[in-house]
Amino acid sequence: MTMLEKTIRNIHRPNTTVYEQAKERLRRQARPAGSLGILEDVGARLAGIFETLDVRLTHKIIVTCAGDHGVCAEGVSLFPSEVTSQMVYNFIHAGASINVLARHANARVEVADLGVAHDFPADLPIFHKKVGRGTKNLSTGPAMTREEAVKSIENGIEIIDELVKNGPVHLLGTGDMGIGNTTPSTAIIACFSHLPVSQLCGRGTGIDDNGLMKKISAIERGLTCNSPDPDDPIDVLAKVGGFEIGGLAGLVIGAAANNIPVICDGLISTAGALIACKLAPAARNYLFAGHKSVEVGHRFMLEELNLEPLLDLQFRLGEGTGAALAMELMDAATRILIEIKTFEEVAIADAQAQP
């Protein structure tokens, strides 16, 4: 049995009894039923995962997976591929957007090299999980081999295993860095949704109309020449994905196997989550959507996963920024569940109980 198969087998459903107890407590709280919206279900789901009504998310980690993409040769991004490695160094020096927002959420940022086209020093404090120095050009052939696709997922699982060995992880946020990676991410949702690429494709880093047409064309050619099988998520990842997207999928699967809730960021992180949940449907029980990106394909990914985003801030940055901000709402959901008094506890008449 492979590492991937073994990890998937270790994913179990959260405790439904505690989940129902949480739903009942929320219903009996001294306020109109359902008045706190999405946060009520978030709190109940977390209670089921942790098997307690009093959840404490004191150890939060955001893992930002990095990788480069051969499809950048098609002019699909505003920035050159060299920016990927430059941004990795920026993360390490705590100068990026994710570093600022993670500090605000009291979360630690970890960076993982899954496939950057740059050789980082061995002593750089990142997860050295490189599968290759960038993918091949998906518009002219497979982005990677099937073996590399599996390796990228298993490397993501290894990251979770290493994190857990070094201390508790109560909440995992997923983020990405990879110039051009909105292109493979859009190709992934196009494959699973069967919708036209033109309906799914966004402007990524801010490309103009000409760049958008190049991007749509590259994805369409990639889907045509590779014929990825939507019933085989690994084939989809191999044909039109990215190394960091595979790593993100592995993070979700590994976290679910360790009973760790995952809050994913935008388009690229959700592409990884989509691959993960196609491979391991039970992982969906541990998955939360941090926000809704302005990248149009993200909405269709969320629909495919049946996830309601916690925020809509018109973000399109990645890195894990949306996940970082949403972590504070996850904290709020845990406090709502346990700290708001019930009608019985404060001796207020329950309108729901009146004849």
Which residues are the active-site residues? 319
The residue length of the chain stands at: 355
Round to whole Å and give the CA distance between 344 and 208. Answer: 59
Cβ within 8 Å of residue 237, ≥6 positions away: 144, 149, 152, 153, 188, 245, 246, 249, 275
Residue closest to 316 by CA, chosen among 229, 204, 216? 204
Contact 243, 149 (CB under 8 A): no
Rg of the chain in Å (alpha carbons): 20
In which residue are the tokens 């506890």 written?
345
Q: Say how many C-beta atoms besides its own lie within 10 A of residue 344's C-beta.
A: 11
Token representation of residue 70:
């051969």
Cβ within 8 Å of residue 321, ≥6 positions away: 97, 98, 101, 175, 265, 315
In which residue are the tokens 């991004």 written?
77
